[in-house]
Structure 1
């Protein structure tokens, strides 16, 4: 797949929040054939949760490989906290629907309901839409910057042979790799520790969820799950 400026072989990009630290705000790109998708809306069916309840939902995770710190939900607009919503669609239960125009990801639960997650999405010029599927799942995947990025940002050179999975890895704790027609698109749905990125268009086409939300989605999503990305 052709890579756009600032992307890795697996689609990841750097954007130095600090010189010595990888910033999770720049992410994956690819070139996928955009297929039309029906834009659908969701409305909240449960009362909004309190901050105290959100702190429990987004508390630390005792992951078997790396302990995951709590997310601070006070840094996220409450509309992007995970919740159950009414969502009418003809898609089968389990389908993932990405709504980049509203910064949401839905998992269809059936009976007119869906689990809704707040997300970060592609910035202007890097958004795409169409149907895909989960071709691969990764826990704490390795990330490798491309030569173009290393040339522009020499601090990335130390990861030329791959950055092992961990809390500083831009791909996060869990990743769903999106495929079309048997080929990896370079787009992913990934886990982000950057609370302030949720509800914004800052990636190079990929979709990020808060780590606790991504683990929730990942655990319920088998390989071959359909993913529909709506037009922005």
Structure 2
């Protein structure tokens, strides 16, 4: 019960008061007293199996030591897992399903590795076919000129944001090109677990650090990417 009862009241009076309130509630009666405050529910936390905890454990060996991801905050649907390939694409392809917030790396024998992702908010989405032109570990992030113009606070990074945990691209980045043209969209890392399964970024495909590091090791430069 959220009401605070004064310690100075006799115990019998307190119990009688509680009993009366219970009777009123059961009878559906209205009273002139103010209703108790509604306490917002806390974020849902999921039980995490040991094998999943291991996948998202800290990575102290990295150039910038990566903390463990609070994977309990994410719907288990978005935890990394190997599944039957649902994409219809041949092995060796990156497929981003924007309706389900999944990225797939297609593998031999009809299998795929599936990752939960965060995507671009309305007005910044990108879709189409391209390829992963190249990849970078702990990349420098240089915001597009148009982004700096929209967000003047990014002026300090006009010539590049140094690598590190707080870098906008995170621990790894895969650069999407169409032909010889840089689309300016990336598959990259984030430590913000709250963005997975949501459309919040400025167009890029975001994976947790542990997931983008796993993907980085699987995907060769030149691999096709399909964003649908």
| TM-score between the two structures when normalised by the length of structure 2 | 0.74
Counterpart in the other structure of 1:209: 207
Mapped to 1, the partners of 2:190 and 2:87 lie a distance apart of 28
Whose radius of gyration is greater, 1 or 2?
2
- Corresponding residue SS for 1:91: coil
Tell me the residue number matched to 1:60.
Answer: 58
Aligned residues, how many? Answer: 183
1:129 and 2:127 correspond: yes
> Post-superposition shift, 1:125?
2.4
Is residue 120–residue 197 contact of structure 1 (8 Å, CA) maintained in 2? yes
Note the 1:45-56 alignment, pairs <5 A.
Answer: 50-56=48-54
Instruction: Name the counterpart of 2:191.
Output: 193
Q: What displacement does 1:172 show?
A: 0.6
Q: Residues 136-215 of structure 1 correspond to what in structure 2 (within 5 A)?
A: 136-146=134-144, 149-150=147-148, 153-215=151-213
Q: 1:92-130 CA distances to partner (integer Å, 9 max, x unpaired)?
A: 212111001000000111222111000001112222321
Contact 1:120 1:198 survives alignment (8 Å): yes
Structure with the bigger RCO (C-alpha within 8 Å, sep 6+) is 1
Counterparts of 2:173 and 2:114, CA distance in 1: 18
Q: CA RMSD in A?
A: 2.1
Query: Runs of 5+ in structure 2 lacking a partner?
Result: 1-46
C-alpha distance in structure 2 between counterparts of 1:89 and 1:150, whole Å = 36
How far has the Cα of 1:209 moved from its partner?
0.6
Segments of structure 1 that go 5 or more residues without pairing to the other structure are 1-48
2:21 — aligned with what? none
Residue 50 (structure 1) shift: 3.6
Runs of 4+ in 1 over 4 A off after TM superposition: 146-154
1:40 is matched with: none
Give the Cα–Cα distance (whole angstroms) in 2 for the partners of residues 58 and 81 of structure 1: 9
Which residue of the other structure, out of 60, 69, 74, is the alignment partner of 1:71?
A: 69
SS at match of 2:213: helix
CA offset at residue 162 of structure 1?
1.7
